Structure 1
Amino acid sequence: MSANEIRIPKQKRSIEKKDAIIKASYGLFCEKGYYKTNTAEIAKEAGVSTGIVYSYFHDKKDILIEVVKLYIFQLEEQFKIILDQIAEREKLAFVIGEFIDLSISSHKMNRDAHNEFLALALLNNDIQDLFNGFEYQMLEKLYKILIEVGYSEEFLIEKLRISYGIIEQLCHDYIQGKTSDGELNKIKFLAVPMIMNLLGNA
C-alpha cells in the first residue's frame, strides 16, 4: 500500500479504532513478543478487520513505532510529576530517591514491555532513536531545572548522563533478578548520596 493510501484518522470513531489497534498491539507484543505476533491477531484483539489495520499502518513495523511512542509517552507523564518537584536545591536528594523509586516501579510494572522494546532497539535504529530522544529530553529538562536552582553548568549534562546510567543499571539488575529487595534498598541508600556528590556544588 502506498503512502498516500494510509488514512490519517480525524473523526472520533476512526481515532478510537487506531488507538485500539495500538493498545492491542502493545499487549500482544509484551505477551507474545513482536516477532511472534501477526497482524491478524492484532486485528482480532482490537476488534477490527485486518483491512482496517492496513488502512492506518503500512506494516507491523509502523505499528511497533506507534506502540513504542505510547510506551515512552507513559514514561514521560510519570516522570514529569517527579521532575516538577525540583523547585528548591534542598529537595534534590528527596527527588533523586523518588526518581529511583519511580524508575524501579515503572520497570517492574512494564517489565515485559521494557525487555521487549529494549531488545528491539538493539536491532532497529528507529526504535533506538525514540529511546535516545526520550533520554535526551529527560536529561535536558533535568539540566535546565538544576541550572535554575543554582548548579554549575560545568560538565553538568555529562554528570546527569552518568547519574541516569546508574539508575538505569540499578533498575535493570533488579528486574532481571540480579539483586534482591534487601540489596536494592542498600544500593538505593548508596546511590542517592553518590549522585548528589557527582552533581557537585552550585
Structure 2
Amino acid sequence: MSQLLTNYHDQLENAKMPVGKKKVLQTALTLFANNGFHATTTAKIAKQAGVSEGTIYKYFKSKNDLLTSLLQPILLEIKDNFFSRLDSTANLKELIHFMVTDRIAFINVNFDFIRLLMQEFLTNQPAGKYYEKFFNGNTGVLPRVQQLQKQYPEINQSLTTVQIIRSIVAPVMAYILQINLFHVPSDSNDVALIEQQILNNLTKI
C-alpha cells in the first residue's frame, strides 16, 4: 500500500463520521487504488466493507460521487502539505532542489495511486470539477506559485504562472515516467541535471 493511501486511511480512521460511511470510504479507496475505478462495483465495495449497497447510496448519490468525495481531500492534502514546507528554503536554487527531490520521492512511493488519480480525472467529468479547487482560490496552486514568483525576483517576471508550473513539472514528470513506466535506467547525475534545467528555464530572459 502506498504512503499516500496509508496516510489517508489513517485520517479516515480518526475522522468524525458515521461508521458505515467510514467503512465505505476506506474500502472504496483501497479497491479503487488496487483494481481501478471501472473494475470496482458498488456491490464489491459493499461486500468488502460489510455493509449493504443501500448504505453506500445513503451517503453517496453514485459511484462517481463516492470517488469525488475521496479525491477532494487527497488532492488538497497533497497541495497543502507540499506548499507548507517551501517557506524553509533560503534561495531559488535551494527551493528548486527541494521541489525536485521531494516530488520525485513522493511520486515514486505513491506512483500507482497517483496514476489512478490522474486516470480518473481524465475520464470522469464529475471528478474534474475539483481541478478548480486544486488550482484556484486563495490557497490554490496558481496563487501560491504567483507568491513564489514575487518572493524570488530571479525568476523571469515575464513568465506566466502556467509557464512557471510547466517549467518545473515537465522535467520531473518526464523523469518519473522514464523510470516507472519505461524502466529506463537512471543516472546518478539525473536529478542535478533536472534541477539545473529548471533553474535555467525559470531565470532565462
Shorter-chain TM-score range: 0.7 to 0.9
> Deviation at 1:156?
4.2
Distance of aligned partners of 1:200 and 1:13 in 2 relative to their CA distance in 1, 3 Å threshold: closer
TM-score, scaled relative to structure 2: 0.76
Residue 179 of structure 1: aligned partner: 184
Residues 162 and 94 (structure 1 numbering): CA distance in 2 closer, same or farther, change over 3 Å?
A: same
Q: In the alignment, which residue of structure 1 is the partner of 2:77? A: 74
Following TM superposition, by how much is the alpha carbon of 1:127 offset from its aligned partner in structure 2, in angstroms? 2.9
- Map of 1:32 onto structure 2: 35
Q: CA RMSD in A?
A: 2.7
Deviates more, 1:169-178 or 1:58-67: 169-178
Q: TM-score under structure 1 normalisation?
A: 0.77
- Percentage of identical aligned residues: 21
Instruction: Name stretches of at least 5 consecutive residues in structure 1 with no aligned partner.
Output: 1-10
- Out of 191, 199, 203, which is 1:200 matched to? 203
In the alignment, what sits opposite 2:124? 124
Give the letter for the 1:175 counterpart. N
Any conservation in 2 of the 1:107–1:175 contact (CA below 8 Å)?
no
Residue 114 of structure 1 corresponds to: 114
The answer to whether the aligner puts 1:145 opposite 2:120 as a matched pair is no
Matched-pair contact (CA < 8 Å) for 1:83–1:95: yes
Aligned to 1:21: 24
Residue 102 of structure 1 is matched in structure 2 by: 102
| Residue 54 (structure 1) shift | 0.6
Which position in structure 1 is the counterpart of 2:173?
168
1:154 is aligned to 2:158: yes
Measure, in 2, the Cα distance between the counterparts of 1:40 and 1:17.
15
Q: Give the letter for the 1:154 counterpart.
A: S
In the aligned structure 1, how far is the partner of 2:168 from the partner of 2:157? 15
Counting matched residue pairs gives: 186
Gaps of 5+ in 2: 1-14
Offset of 1:169 from its aligned partner?
A: 2.4
